[in-house]
Amino acid sequence: MKQQTIMLWTICTLFLFGCHSIQKEEEKTGTAKSQRIEHALPTQKAPLVFERTKVEGKKDTLSFRIARPSNVHIDLEIPTNAGNIRINQVITPEGKIDGPFGKNYRDTLSTTGIYQIIIAESLMQEHPYVGPYRVEISVTR
């Protein structure tokens, strides 16, 4: 019985300290966890709309698929026009990264596949935006 109690105490201690060290590591590195949304396919008839809530210090990754070369219009909207939030990066299916952008992105995407949009605040500005936002992705051929 004594050995079982000691073993149980050891397991609980290791578990608690293990969880604590992972949390401390995230705090030390300052890594902002991103929230990922699985890719969707916008159509020519209806835009793809993401409605999310921005959390301070966190990046959101929105993914969408392009089935054929298309003109793409991405608009980021917040309830007030002022706010430190933007389309930080657009990542192509090949892994090329472009950005930062403002609240609008217009381009002709010639490569088919999954694109990712990173939504976050500018680290060069103060007062990061916290609250609801909306991203609309429209495609035309």
**For residue 100, is the peptide bond before it cis, meaning its omega torsion is within 30 degrees of 0?**
yes
Token readout for 51 is: 């409605």
Tens digit of pLDDT for each residue in 11-59?
A: 443 333 444 333 333 333 344 444 444 545 555 568 899 999 988 888 9
State percent of the chain over pLDDT 70.
67
Instruction: Identify the CATH assignment for 34-140 out of 3.40.50.9100, 3.40.50.300, 3.30.450.20, 2.60.120.380.
Output: 2.60.120.380
State percent of the chain over pLDDT 90.
45
pTM of the model: 0.67
Chain-centre distance of CA 13, in angstroms? Answer: 34
Mean pLDDT is lowest, of 40-44, 92-96, 109-113, for 40-44
Predicted pLDDT of residue 35: 47
Mean pLDDT is lowest, of 14-23, 67-76, 87-96, for 14-23
Contact 139, 43 (CB under 8 A): yes
- Paired with 60 in beta bridges are 35, 119
